Amino acid sequence: MGDIHVLLIEDDPWVAEVNRQLIESLPPFKVVGVADTLQEARRLTLELRPHLMVVDVYLPDGSGLEWVHHLRSEGSVLDIIMITAANDVSSIQMALRDGVLDYLIKPFEKSRLHDALNRYLSRRNVYAGSNTFTQARLDRLLRHDPQVHLPKGIEQVTLDQIQNLLTEAGKPLTAEEIGGQLGISRVTAWRYLEYLVERGWAAVEALYKGSGRPQKSYARKQASSP
């Protein structure tokens, strides 16, 4: 899976750098541009075509909320996460009505930002693989799905990342390949992959090379609903 390109809109250079590091600490997110004004945001949005935008509200030449509203009025479906000190009801209502993916109030924990980013990954995962929805897939997108109790040693964040990798890869991947992309051990990746096989979400096949032990590769079962 390739990088997910993020455009960060924040006028405080120190805050922008901290947020960039927090975003990029979660693969496969990569900040490809930082804008400190709405004018710069307009230019970079057209130039960089980001997958995801992280937007502050208070900017020198206007409101990030008005910027988001302008994007929606033009028909943009770009996913947007708000990170701001604006905690008033009207700001939050406006953001939600314009379809922001998440809204983080400063100061926030790193884990809360990663939750927002992983929600984005899960959303991409749900959209992938079919042009139609079952109720189960739609419930997952709308967060109406029932709580899944994961076994010990299986974390939802890592599970979502692995599902996203298999969805976007378009080909089978080994535990070693997935571990290398996510920065986890081959054994850890293998444990998650076997769990997905047990759930019926993924399929496994053995590749025989020479006289040694066969190498397992894993792929998403396109016909399955997670």
Note whether 115 and 24 are same-domain residues. Answer: yes
Looking at residue 148, what is its pLDDT? 56
**What stretches of the chain adopt beta strand conformation (E)?**
4-9, 29-35, 52-55, 58-59, 62-63, 79-84, 102-105, 202-207, 215-220
pLDDT score of 73 more than 70: yes
Looking at residue 14, what is its pLDDT? 94
Q: What span, in angstroms and rounded, lies between the C-alpha atoms of 119 and 147?
A: 15
Task: Collapse the DSSP code of 74 into the 3-class scheme (helix H, G, I; strand E, B; otherwise coil) and give the result.
Answer: coil
Looking at residue 146, what is its pLDDT? 52
pLDDT score of 153 more than 90: no
* Residue 191 within any structural domain of the chain: yes
**pLDDT tens digit sequence for 107-147:** 888 888 988 898 888 777 667 656 677 676 667 666 655 55
Q: Give the pLDDT band (50/70/90) at residue 225.
A: very low
* Residue 132 within any structural domain of the chain: no
**Token pair listed for 80:** 């947007």
pLDDT score of 210 more than 70: no
Looking at residue 223, what is its pLDDT? 47
Under 8 Å CB-to-CB from 44, ≥6 apart: which residues? 7, 33, 35, 50
Looking at residue 206, what is its pLDDT? 81
Q: What span, in angstroms and rounded, lies between the C-alpha atoms of 19 and 8?
A: 8
* Residue 66 within any structural domain of the chain: yes
- Using left for φ > 0, alpha for ψ between -120 and 50, and beta otherwise, residue 66 falls in alpha
Note whether 188 and 121 are same-domain residues. Answer: no
Looking at residue 123, what is its pLDDT? 76
Q: HSE-up of 101 (CA within 13 Å, CB side)? A: 23
Range of the domain at 48: 4-125
